[in-house]
Amino acid sequence: MTRLVVVSNRVTSPRQARSGAQGGLAVAVQAALEDWGGVWFGWSGELRDTGAEEPTVFRSGQVTYATVDLSSQDYEEYYNGFANRTLWPLFHYRLDLTEFSRRTLSGYQRVNQLFAERLRPLLRDDDLIWVHDYHLIPLAEQLRHAGCRQRMGFFLHIPWPALEVFLALPNHREIVHALCAYDLVGFQTDNDVRGFVNYIKLEAGGEVDPDGTVRAFGRRLRVAAFPISIDTARLAGFAREAVFARQTVRLRESLRGRKLMIGVDRLDYSKGLPQRFRGYEQLLEHYPENRGRVVFLQIAPPSRQDVPEYLQIRRQLEATAGHVNGAYAEFDWMPLRYLNTGFSRRILAGFLRLATVGVVTPLRDGMNLVAKEYVAAQNPKDPGVLLLSRFAGASAELDGAVPVNPYDVEGTAGAMQAALSMPLEERRERWESMYRRLETHDVDYWRGAFLDALSAMEPAACE
């Protein structure tokens, strides 16, 4: 039987998943693999400087985990460097934060080569190989050089930028050339597909058919949007069960009847947290009836702390949160609760259900699973309102959300006010259309759509 082999930088064991420290990629891949079974290959998250080791392999349920350690130089150049100081900021439209160096680029290529060498002996001829995200764009090309002919798909979890932004990457051509070694390249949204197709047509001199068939660099492949999703029924079940859980009860009691607004994001500059805090400050300033009546809970587990820009945003947020509380707190009311802790998704589901407003206002986001989890966690009889940035991939699907331009701080405050005072009937109507979408378009649907498309490809099609 055809095996599924998933490759990603981040591999999360079931134990790590319970800590709540992982991002959306790990959450979705875990859910996809748990049902289908297969191999999950990637970085162990550990650093080892002595000698290249064979992958560590262990099995849990249906999934075989195979992980490799990285050296501290690999970690610095590949993960902190080219992946998270070049590709991440550039693909999130932050040219001001984008660094480029040949040293980190060569580390990026080296780790992709290492992954290819370690993965190859584990592969069978009829495996379906599914590679995830910007860390591993060159992997298929490396595997093909080593003679692998299996069908290979790639899914990009982050946005694909507009052409003019992408052209700022000095090795843009090399990156797209490498992507063309896959048989199927999946993006989160049609907008991302458009950015890629524009590059193929306008820069690479390639051709793209209406069905997404691409011919470029002597290869034929397919591109399409496959919006990632959540395990909707399971998350809704977590939220129902969490009503009587210890932490949910503690949170509810601490509110003393006040309305809860909630944000849950990795501590990342792409998530728009400073603008969000300022929007909340404006809400308290311009709609004073909310003072003492609303609490904003922002959960922001630290992420990529060895990358300087992440330390900067952390300091900035501490100052902004302190400023909001300093200006508006009363002796018996703290307007903003800002936590640098991660929670398990069971606990989060309970917190999301308690919240009258879910605030998801990234400056740019590939998808944003928290937006979908907020909808899934709501009580159908009395659902809360989702505020959603138009720059999150999720906004293409969640039409019942209140749209927000996160750069418009006063507009964000106005949207918060509208959400806090929205009548039940409108809340239900908006929630129902979003929940219906998530019931059918869940993580199983995402996995099935991608793997069906990949299975239908001819292996290693060259023009």
Pairing of strands 219-225, 259-264: unpaired
- The token duo for 25 is 């990629």
Closest CA to 182 of 231, 130, 228: 130
Q: Considering CB under 6 A, how many residues would be counted as binding ligand UDP?
A: 18
Q: How far apart are CA 269 and CA 267, in angstroms?
A: 7
Among positions 300-319, residues that touch ligand UDP (CB under 6 A) are: 301
10: β partners? 43
Residue closer to ligand L263DTV3 by CB (options 219, 304) is: 304
- Residue 368 engages ligand L263DTV3 in binding (rule: CB under 6 A): yes
Instruction: Give the nearest distance from C-beta 373 to ligand UDP in angstroms.
Output: 5
- The token duo for 290 is 């909310």
- Residue 242 engages ligand UDP in binding (rule: CB under 6 A): no
Residue closer to ligand L263DTV3 by CB (options 217, 450) is: 450
Long-range CB contacts (within 8 A, 24+) of 24-30: 24/157, 24/228, 24/366, 24/367, 24/368, 24/369, 24/370, 25/132, 25/133, 25/157, 27/230, 27/345, 27/369, 28/228, 28/229, 28/230, 28/369, 28/443, 28/446, 29/132
Q: Quick count: other Cβ atoms within 10 Å of Cβ 49? A: 10
- Residue 288: half-sphere exposure toward Cβ, Cα within 13 Å: 2
Contact mark string toward ligand UDP, 394..413, x via CB under 6 A: --------------------
Contact mark string toward ligand UDP, 355..374, x via CB under 6 A: ------------xxxx--x-
Distances (CA, A) of 234 to 152, 196, 248, 443: 30, 34, 18, 11
Contact mark string toward ligand L263DTV3, 137..176, x via CB under 6 A: --------------------xx------------------
- Residue 343 engages ligand UDP in binding (rule: CB under 6 A): yes
Instruction: Give the nearest distance from C-beta 366 to ligand UDP in angstroms.
Output: 7
The H-or-E segment that residue 159 falls in is: none
- Residue 251 engages ligand L263DTV3 in binding (rule: CB under 6 A): no
Q: Quick count: other Cβ atoms within 10 Å of Cβ 106? A: 14
343 binds, options ligand UDP, ligand L263DTV3, none, Cβ within 5 to 8 A by partner type? ligand UDP
Instruction: Give the nearest distance from C-beta 301 to ligand UDP in angstroms.
Output: 5
Residues catalogued as catalytic: 157, 365
From 299, 354, 404, 434, residue interacting with ligand UDP (rule: CB under 6 A)? 299
Instruction: Give the nearest distance from C-beta 235 to ligand UDP in angstroms.
Output: 8
CB 95 within 8 A of CB 89: yes
Task: Give the binding site for ligand UDP (CB under 6 A).
Answer: 20, 23-25, 27, 264, 266, 299, 301, 342-343, 345, 348, 367-370, 373
Task: Give the binding site for ligand L263DTV3 (CB under 6 A).
Answer: 10, 23-26, 28, 133, 157-158, 228, 303-304, 365-369
